[in-house]
Amino acid sequence: MVSEHIWVLLQTKGKTFKVISDPEKGIIEVINEKGEILIRKINLSKRQVETVERNFLHLIAKKINGREHGKSPASSDTFDPMII
């Protein structure tokens, strides 16, 4: 069973970050548009990852259904940050 969740996080200046969270592995990563890992937290408890997802990602990010290789994750989305 895959426990990985992938989120699109849009910044105010048009930058798009991808956030990958995996409660089972205890990992949260933030990746920029160039594919560079900006933040990588490992060895987190399942509860810590789920808390970040619930309190942060669910409020400001959009969940997507898988990795999109070679293109920006938001390129086909019509994400409106004003709609929660």
Predicted confidence at residue 78, as pLDDT, reads 54
Predicted confidence at residue 2, as pLDDT, reads 75
Whether pLDDT at 71 is above 60? no
> Tell me, what DSSP letter sits at residue 60?
H
Tokens of 66: 């898988």
Q: How far is CA 4 from the centre of its chain?
A: 10
Rounded mean pLDDT, 46-56: 89
To the question of pTM greater than 0.85 for the whole model, the response is no
